[in-house]
Amino acid sequence: MNKDSKIYIAGHRGMVGSAILRHLQKEGFNNFAYSNSKDLDLRDQTAVANFFEKEKPAYVFLAAAKVGGIGANNTYRAEFLYDNLMIQSNVIHQAYVHGVEKLMFLGSSCIYPKMAPQPLKEDYLLTGSLEPTNEPYAVAKISGIKMCEEYRFQYGCNFISVMPTNLYGPNDNYDLKKSHVLPALLRKFHEAKQNNTPSVEVWGTGSPLREFLHVEDLAAACYFLMQNYSEKEFINIGTGTDVSIKELAMMIKEVVGYEGELQFDTSKPDGTPRKLMDVGRLHSLGWKHTIELKEGIERTYKEKFLN
């Protein structure tokens, strides 16, 4: 990528897309094609074709997706499948039609089988059944990986895929019905502290293990891989360490300064017991995260709730 290459970040208003945009702007890139969901419905094939015809981007980061936590994934199952399949198929296909030099597709750690060995190596894809609560989303993301692989195979497109672990940071979703665990708990503990509520409800048993990466680290990794990686095999992006939901809750409780109790609501699903990424491939290329979890939570709490 040159500093004046035309770059299209699909989903540039979302948590991931906006972090990639900020990172590229900081690196001195200044020629962006913008779309937002009001003017361009990425599920609309003709509209996406017209957008590519008009903008002719040289590089594409495909960070647009319908996303959500365990509640949303498990409720809006048809939407998670349809919207994601349509968005990614339209963008990937038009990137091929319009000769995009390189495209990066962003997937998710939920593509791996529910009971895969840990840490999750890239080779474990399609070796077992998926976690039911996010199967529609995972099936869509697996299709995206395969599209990149097969467009590379048949048409020679330089399309790569990356699989981020659970992310958090600026522009996250704090709607308690739809959000992921980290923003949900930040909000719950913050509000409980303000209202002097004696306990905070944590979904599930607290025993599932999750890995968390700050979205600024993700953006840095995406930029690094866009410059340094052009292989068929997709790459995990994570930190290589995980914590239990209970440990996460205790950490957030401490950062917020809440003094009440945790109450586990076991009527809510736990989801996958563990999904820790193997980041050996990423580390061997020379990239490692810089923001540790505690520091990232402190930053996120300050930015969102203390300003």
Query: Which residues are designated catalytic?
Result: 137
- Distance (Å, rounded) from C-alpha 47 to C-alpha 61? 18
| Contact letters for ligand GDP, residues 164-203 (x by CB under 6 A) | --x------------xxx--xx----------------xx
Looking at beta carbons only, is 17 or 69 nearer to ligand GDP? 69
77 binds ligand GDP (CB under 6 A): no
300 binds ligand GDP (CB under 6 A): no
70 binds ligand GDP (CB under 6 A): yes
Which member of 23, 190, 210, 281 binds ligand GDP (CB under 6 A)? 210
At closest approach, how far in Å is the CB of 278 from ligand GDP?
17
66 binds ligand GDP (CB under 6 A): no
245 binds ligand GDP (CB under 6 A): yes
| Residues facing 32 on adjacent strands | 7
CB 277 within 8 A of CB 119: yes
Which member of 69, 144, 169, 238 binds ligand GDP (CB under 6 A)? 69
Looking at beta carbons only, is 110 or 237 nearer to ligand GDP? 110
- Distance (Å, rounded) from C-alpha 160 to C-alpha 45? 22
At closest approach, how far in Å is the CB of 134 from ligand GDP?
5
Residue nearest to ligand GDP (CB): 69
84 binds ligand GDP (CB under 6 A): no
At closest approach, how far in Å is the CB of 233 from ligand GDP?
24
Which member of 17, 57, 144, 208 binds ligand GDP (CB under 6 A)? 208
Interface of this chain with ligand GDP, residues 20 to 39, rule: CB under 6 A: none
Of the CA atoms within 13 Å of residue 108, those in its CB half-sphere come to 28
Looking at beta carbons only, is 21 or 181 nearer to ligand GDP? 181
Pairing of strands 212-214, 166-168: parallel
Number of residues in contact with ligand GDP under rule CB under 6 A: 21
DSSP code string of the chain: --TTS-EEEETTTSHHHHHHHHHHHHTT---EE---TTT--TT-HHHHHHHHHHH--SEEEE-------HHHHHHSHHHHHHHHHHHHHHHHHHHHHTT-SEEEEE--GGGS-TT--SSB-GGGTTSSPPPGGGHHHHHHHHHHHHHHHHHHHHH---EEEEEE-EEESTT----TTT--HHHHHHHHHHHHHHHT-SEEEEES-S--EE-EEEHHHHHHHHHHHHHH---SS-EEES-S--EEHHHHHHHHHHHHT--SEEEEETTS---SSB-PBP-HHHHHHT------HHHHHHHHHHHHH--
Looking at beta carbons only, is 85 or 110 nearer to ligand GDP? 110
At closest approach, how far in Å is the CB of 49 from ligand GDP?
33
204 binds ligand GDP (CB under 6 A): yes
44 binds ligand GDP (CB under 6 A): no
Question: Which positions touch ligand GDP (CB under 6 A)?
Answer: 69-71, 110, 134, 166, 179-181, 184-185, 202-204, 208, 210, 245, 268-271
